[in-house]
Amino acid sequence: MNEPLDPDMFTGCTHAPTPFRIGGKWMPMIIRCLESGPRRFSELEVPLRGITPKVLTETLRAMERDGFLTRTVTDSTPPRVDYELSPLGRTLLAPLNACCTWAAAHLPELLDARDTYGDTAPAPGGP
C-alpha cells in the first residue's frame, strides 16, 4: 500500500502556473499523484484542490482513453476503483520532470514576460 498523498503536495509550488500542459491543466498533477502507484478517486481529490469531481472524472477518462492510465474495478461492496499509470503513462514522467526543472529555473523570467506583455498588450477588440 502506498503512503497517503500529501494534501499540500502542490501548495507553495513555485512553478504552479506551469507553461507546459500535457493534455490539459490537471493531467501533469494527476501523473505526479500516480507516480508512486495506484490511487483511488478520493485519494486523488485530496491534493488536487480546486478540481471538481466532474473535471477529475473527465480527465481520468481522457487519460484512460489515450492509454496513459489503467482503471481497475475490484468486485466488492461498494466497488473499488483504482487508477494507475500505464507503461505509456510512465514514459511521461521524464518529460514532466524536465518541465518541472525548467520551470523552477525559469519561472521568474516567464512571469516577468507575462507581466510585461500584460502592460503592453493591446486592449480587447483593439489592433
Instruction: Dump pLDDT digits (tens) for 28-82.
Output: 999 999 999 999 999 999 999 889 999 999 999 999 999 999 999 999 988 899 9
Report the alpha-carbon angle 76-43-75, nearest 5: 10
Cell reading at 68: 496513459
pTM for this entry = 0.74
Q: What is the mean pLDDT of residues 6-13?
A: 75
Angle formed by the axes of helices 53-65 and 27-34, nearest 10°: 80
What's the sign of the alpha-carbon dihedral 31, 33, 36, 38? negative
| Domains of the chain, each with CATH number or no CATH | 27-96 (1.10.10.10)
Neighbours of 34 (CB within 10 A): 26
Query: What span, in angstroms and rounded, lies between the C-alpha atoms of 81 and 47?
Result: 18
